[in-house]
């Protein structure tokens, strides 16, 4: 156990790179809304988004308290910024242990309208998706402690 913890604590941005899965729009849509063995909380964020940065510590703490729900962080930064901005950001925020996807599309805003029904054209956005693949809660602003407390 100590070896595992020390390995996680010493993760480098290069190791984070292996944990960020680039996914094109259509495969992302299919995976998001397919049935799964547990509910998933998708958080759409970007390194340039101030409110996104503010909610990440709350999400990190909530994820640690709720292992029954998979937290999937979806970066909306351009794929070309992955190594330069996304990986260092994840490492700095201490969230490399969560599941990370990055939308692989040259126009993330347009792609999101094809992925998420009624996409609000803003970030952050957080969706709680049931085991059956249905959206059960949506948030179109940064999550507050009260928002997270209201989740199952």
pTM, 2 dp: 0.86
pLDDT of residue 21: 94
H runs (alpha helix) in 33-132: 50-65, 87-93, 108-115
Q: Write out pLDDT tens, residues 106-115.
A: 888 899 999 9
Tokens found for residue 48 = 């340039």
Task: For residue 4, name the pLDDT band (cuts at 50, 70, 90).
Answer: very low
Contacts of 42 (CB under 8 A, 6+ apart): 32, 72, 74, 126, 127, 129
CA distance 111 to 145: 30
Read off φ and ψ for residue 22, nearest 5 degrees.
-75, 125
pLDDT of residue 111: 94
pLDDT of residue 152: 84
pLDDT of residue 57: 94
Question: Which of these ranges, 18-22, 56-60, 107-111, has the smallest mean pLDDT?
Answer: 18-22
Task: Give strand pairing partners of 23.
Answer: 103
Task: For residue 148, name the pLDDT band (cuts at 50, 70, 90).
Answer: very high
pLDDT of residue 130: 98
The answer to whether residue 3 scores a pLDDT higher than 90 is no
pLDDT of residue 6: 37
Domains detected in the chain: 12-149 (3.40.30.10)
Cα-based angle 47, 96, 58 (whole degrees, multiple of 5): 65
């Amino acid at each position: 156990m100590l070896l595992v913890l020390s390995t996680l604590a010493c993760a480098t941005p290069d190791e984070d790179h292996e944990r960020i899965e680039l996914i094109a729009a259509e495969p992302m849509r299919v995976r998001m809304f397919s049935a799964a063995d547990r509910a998933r909380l998708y958080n759409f964020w970007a390194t340039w988004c101030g409110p996104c940065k503010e909610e990440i510590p709350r999400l990190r703490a909530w994820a640690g308290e709720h292992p029954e729900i998979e937290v999937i962080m979806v970066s909306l930064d351009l794929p070309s910024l992955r190594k330069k901005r996304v990986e260092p950001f994840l490492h700095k925020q201490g969230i490399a242990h969560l599941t990370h996807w990055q939308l692989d599309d040259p126009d993330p805003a347009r792609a999101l309208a094809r992925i998420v029904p009624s996409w609000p054209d803003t970030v952050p956005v957080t969706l709680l998706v049931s085991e059956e693949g249905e959206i059960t809660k949506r948030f179109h602003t940064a999550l507050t402690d009260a928002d997270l407390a209201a989740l199952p």
